[in-house]
Amino acid sequence: MSFKIKNNVYWVGKIDWELRKFHGDEYSTHRGSTYNSYLIREEKNVLIDTVWMPFSKEFVKNLSKEIDLEKIDYIIANHAEIDHSGSLPELMERIPNTPIYCTANGVKSLKGHYHKDWNFKVVKTGDTLDLGNGKQLIFVEMRMLHWPDSMACYLTGDNILFSNDAFGQHYASEYMYNDLVDQDELFMECIKYYANILTPFSALVDKKIKEVLALNIPIDIIATSHGVIWRDNPTQIVEKYLSWANDYQENQITILYDTMWDGTKRMAEAITKGIREIDTNVNVKLYHIAKTDKNDLITEIFKSRIILVGSPTIGGGILSGVAEILEMIKGMRFKNKKAASFGCYGWSGESIKVIKEHLEKSGFSVINDGVRALWNPDDESLEKCVAFGREIANS
């Protein structure tokens, strides 16, 4: 499958409806994904990125039906991660001398992955590549968005920004354009993608977007490397990114807990009651950590102004599922969020302290020392949880 995007620009990628896990098991892809590769056919023929390695034979076969591979003048590797570069080994077997344009870090990453000395051409921000017919590709380094090698490029004349991972989503759709798909699904996948992949780099996202906007270049299409192509009001996703990159939060308190015999769960419900007594506008959401997809949890935390994390004490510490989400939270470097801990215990009762320390190390402003309940909470303990909820709502 291929289709024309505009004039002489074609999509030649792969829609992966089956994908349910990405980055190993680290990212859930409930709606599949796409690996978008693009072919520009001007006086010079250019291939921008490829597709993930398992589809490399299919990709090269389909591409060779589109164009005599020998006629590809340039390959652009905007990003070395294997979901975009994974078909290069198969392709370069066929056209070993074709130049590959990438950043200096791109050469390191591509060599690191494939151990091949291909014909690399290093580019940096502002460098151009002439395609004939009055058109050029302009390169923009996107360092740490989200890898050191990440890069975007812009096609003059057609005003297409090939943004690679930025502005993408793990979202399979045969429609392939932002205006044709279900908008709720689309933006749900966009915010999940930002929350889970780009949050740690928010300061860089903000700086890079402002740098690109200052150039005042017309952008008619944003052709990402995952999910839909933005052709209807394409800068709407840029505006979303600016908002998400600036300590984004909604009026939401998220209560995340794991529980063994429902004691910590009952605490979560009592805390919710206390919050609701003070503030009926705030969106309080409760999630049983072990029963919820971890990337969906990160998305909910991203949207929150306060999170409360609960675990019973076990082995002098916390339940493993809680430890896992706390480890993920640490890597996200969330800003401008408050937090507190809670949990049941039978004898030693360290869980609230362990969670509090994790939250502090992860950059949260911790509201208090947390609340704990001995064994399964009685009415008095639950009343303490309600009071704790009121304090959270007032914080």
- Give least dist CB 51 to ligand FEO, A: 10
Choosing from 101, 193, 241, 287, the catalytic residue is 193
C-beta of 8 vs 163, nearer to ligand FEO: 163
Binding of ligand FEO at residue 49 (CB under 6 A)?
Answer: no
Choosing from 16, 90, 146, 258, the catalytic residue is 146
Known catalytic residue at 113: no
- Burial (0-12, 13-18, 19+ Cβ within 10 Å), 261: exposed
Binding string, residues 177-216; x marks residues near ligand FEO by CB under 6 A? ----------------------------------------
Binding of ligand FEO at residue 226 (CB under 6 A)?
Answer: yes
Choosing from 165, 189, 258, 300, the catalytic residue is 165
Known catalytic residue at 226: yes
C-beta of 53 vs 256, nearer to ligand FEO: 53
Choosing from 42, 81, 258, 300, the catalytic residue is 81
d(CA 327, CA 286): 19
Residue whose entry in the numeric block shows the structure tokens 């091949």: 116
Known catalytic residue at 360: no
Which tokens sit at 93?
Answer: 């077997």
The rounded Cα 40 to chain-centroid distance in angstroms is 27
Known catalytic residue at 42: no
The DSSP call for residue 131 is: E
Q: Per CB under 6 A, which region of 76-84, 133-141, 153-161, 311-319 contacts ligand FEO? A: 76-84
d(CA 129, CA 143): 20
Let me know: does 222 contact 161? Beta carbons within 8 Å: yes
Known catalytic residue at 30: no
Known catalytic residue at 83: yes
Known catalytic residue at 287: no
Q: Per CB under 6 A, which region of 2-10, 81-89, 328-336, 378-386 contacts ligand FEO? A: 81-89
Binding of ligand FEO at residue 81 (CB under 6 A)?
Answer: yes
Binding of ligand FEO at residue 16 (CB under 6 A)?
Answer: no
Residue 67 CA: distances (Å) to CA of 8, 53, 96, 307: 13, 20, 16, 53
Binding of ligand FEO at residue 225 (CB under 6 A)?
Answer: yes
Choosing from 194, 226, 241, 345, the catalytic residue is 226
Q: Per CB under 6 A, which region of 80-88, 173-181, 184-192, 232-240 contacts ligand FEO? A: 80-88
Which tokens sit at 211?
Answer: 């740098």
Interactions with ligand FEO, residue window 325-344 (CB under 6 A): none
Which tokens sit at 356?
Answer: 């509090």
- Residue 368 CB-half CA count within 13 A: 15
d(CA 66, CA 287): 48
C-beta of 192 vs 356, nearer to ligand FEO: 192
Residue whose entry in the numeric block shows the structure tokens 């076990």: 314
Binding string, residues 153-172; x marks residues near ligand FEO by CB under 6 A? ------------x-------
Choosing from 23, 175, 220, 378, the catalytic residue is 23
- Burial (0-12, 13-18, 19+ Cβ within 10 Å), 24: exposed
d(CA 33, CA 386): 43
Known catalytic residue at 171: no
The residue from 16, 42, 49, 83 that contacts ligand FEO (CB under 6 A) is 83
Kindly give, in sequence order, each residue whose CB lies less than 8 Å from that of residue 36, ignoring residues fewer than 6 positions away: 11, 13, 49, 223, 224, 225, 226, 227, 229
Which tokens sit at 280?
Answer: 């009926």
Q: Looking at beta carbons, which residue is closest to ligand FEO?
A: 81
Kindly give, in sequence order, each residue whose CB lies less than 8 Å from that of residue 269, ignoring residues fewer than 6 positions away: 286
Supply the residues annotated as catalytic: 23, 79, 81, 83, 146, 165, 193, 226
Name the residues that contact ligand FEO, by CB under 6 A: 79, 81, 83-84, 146-147, 165, 225-226
